[in-house]
Structure 1
Amino acid sequence: MRIWYQSYVDRENGGRYWTELQAHLDAIARDGTEIVVHGITPHDSYAHPLVEFRCAREMICNAIQAEREGYDAFVIGHFQDAGLYEARAAVDIPVIALGEASMLHACTLGQRTGIVTINRRYIPWFHHQITRYGLGQRITGVHAMQFEPGQILGAFGSDARRDEVSDLFRAQALPLIEAGTDVLIPGGGIPMLLFAQIHGHRIEGLPVLNGIPVAVKMAEMAVELKRDFGLSVSRVSDFVMPPRDVLDEFMTHPARHPAADL
């Protein structure tokens, strides 16, 4: 099978992260699975819902393109899952998202999950996700370190920077542990990959969940369940498929620029 892995960082801006991500995905994939990383050029100096919105539109277009190019599944490698439901409603291949997959799998590892993200501005977004996924009673809380998206990329290839991020993560995790957390999730693909080299990563006995392999394995499983048993998402409510011409219009119509009316 072929899986399109949608990073929200591109090769040019990702540097060492991009290289390590592809290597990690290659190690995760089972025999016969090819995972191809595609990027989105981010605004790496500021985390904001408008940036998420812009990236979400590009991601949805890419999911449609992935299906048309014959990919078997599409993985959103971005914890905020922006555009997830819209992408599922636009294609007939499995769409697996890093945030949703991580939170759902955490429910199998413990009763209460704590999330530590990279920036405080992401906290409200995460709470929206938690509510949408119906996990309000299973999430202890969301805490944050303080990095802009591009800053944390500098930790790849630097043991000192990685250790700094690890220490900041631990500092934010400890209050969550005191509040009764059983499982810890780094809230982002970048910190997940940064910590991936720590086999059996735990803090005070709590597992620190790397959601990247979880999302990939869920994608592989979803492809097999669809092939072997015809199991796929519901086509009522959130995931109703639009007609082909609606998809074509979405793919070809550019985002409206304010200057167009001047």
Structure 2
Amino acid sequence: MPGHKPLKIMFLSPVGYADSDPIFAAMAAEHKLPGTEVHVTSLPASEGGFTHIEYRSYEAMVTRGIIRATRAAAREGFDALAIGCFYDTALHDAREVSEGMIVTAPCVASCEIAASLSNRFGIIVGRRKWVHQMQSTVREHGHEHRLSGFYHVELGVNDFQKDHAETEQRLIGAGRKAVEEDFAEALILGCTMEVGFYRDLEKRLGVPVIDPSIAALKRAEYAAILKRQCGWVPSRKWSSEAPPEDEIARFGQFDTGEPFGNRIVVEAA
């Protein structure tokens, strides 16, 4: 965006584990627009050394960190923030404290993009454990009628990188079932595998395959552009009402300590 300061997007990995941050930074460098600056962050170790949040109890533990990080990002002047978990963990909670900053997450972003590319899409997930919660999220976002189904490969988040050949075969099998048996016209990966892997699946399956991390980043970037060009700033009225600042100050839990454990900055070109 010539003549304007760069768009500032934060991609927040909602775990206190920074080893995946370079993967997300490489994704951002490949897919962001030239005028966008992306900060890839993760939570401090004090929020718990989780490598994943597959369990609702883990989500509950990191939600405080997501809230604190969102509030800090808004005060740093970020245009948009993407929460990097397909559960869309703490999405509505984070929006309450985001002021004029836009907040999105992988499931809502991926479903919006899939709905623009197809009438019917399937979601490939790691474990059956995930399906109930993700199905509720898809329903909440208004896309359940477009969903051909969830296709689990019985791999947890930490399992995807153990044997890439095995992971690939399971994902291809799940994708073929979705496309050839249930007539899905697009697929969403319910967890980021590795940079660019979605392209291999697209070639094999013949339908668009949406990487959720890319979807969240690009949806955040697009919303930030609309905010700049059209003045479409999030409303904080009614169901999105922010907590009173005097209560936040009195409770003293929102702005204490360092909200980020790691940060990689992908500069605007």
Interval of TM-score (by shorter of Structure 1 and Structure 2): 0.7 to 0.9
Q: C-alpha distance in 1, partners of 2:80/2:67?
A: 13
The alignment partner of 1:53 has SS state of helix
Gaps of 5+ in 1: 156-160, 255-262
Q: C-alpha distance in 1, partners of 2:40/2:81?
A: 10
| Aligned-residue offset at 1:10 | 4.7
Q: 1:6 aligns with which of 6, 12, 15?
A: 12
Whether contact under 8 Å (1:111, 1:138) holds in the other structure is yes
The alignment partner of 1:108 has SS state of helix
How many residue pairs are counted as aligned between the two chains?
Answer: 243
Q: C-alpha distance in 1, partners of 2:200/2:246?
A: 48
Q: 1:94 aligns with which of 80, 99, 102?
A: 102
TM-score (norm 1): 0.83
1:1-262 correspondence to structure 2 within 5 Å: 1-12=7-18, 14=19, 17-40=20-43, 42-44=49-51, 47-91=54-98, 92-152=100-160, 154-155=161-162, 161-177=163-179, 178-188=181-191, 190-191=192-193, 193=195, 195-196=197-198, 198=199, 201-248=202-249, 249=251, 250-251=253-254
| Aligned-residue offset at 1:66 | 0.6
TM-score (norm 2): 0.81
- Whose RCO is larger (CA < 8 A, sep 6+)? 2
| Aligned-residue offset at 1:60 | 1.7
Q: C-alpha distance in 2, partners of 1:133/1:100?
A: 6
Whether contact under 8 Å (2:26, 2:195) holds in the other structure is no
The alignment partner of 2:188 has SS state of strand
Gaps of 5+ in 2: 1-6, 258-269
Q: C-alpha distance in 1, partners of 2:237/2:52?
A: 39
Counterparts in 2 of 1:253 and 1:66: CA distance versus 1, 3 Å: closer
Q: C-alpha distance in 1, partners of 2:140/2:238?
A: 14
| Aligned-residue offset at 1:203 | 4.0
| Aligned-residue offset at 1:59 | 1.1
* Aligned match of 2:265: none
Q: C-alpha distance in 2, partners of 1:68/1:122?
A: 33
| Aligned-residue offset at 1:112 | 0.7
Write the letter of the residue equivalent to 1:19: P
Q: C-alpha distance in 2, partners of 1:247/1:181?
A: 46
The alignment partner of 1:218 has SS state of helix
* Superposed CA offset, 1:186-213 (max 9, x none): 101x3264615x3682443222112333
* Aligned match of 2:267: none
Whether contact under 8 Å (2:72, 2:255) holds in the other structure is no
The alignment partner of 1:241 has SS state of coil
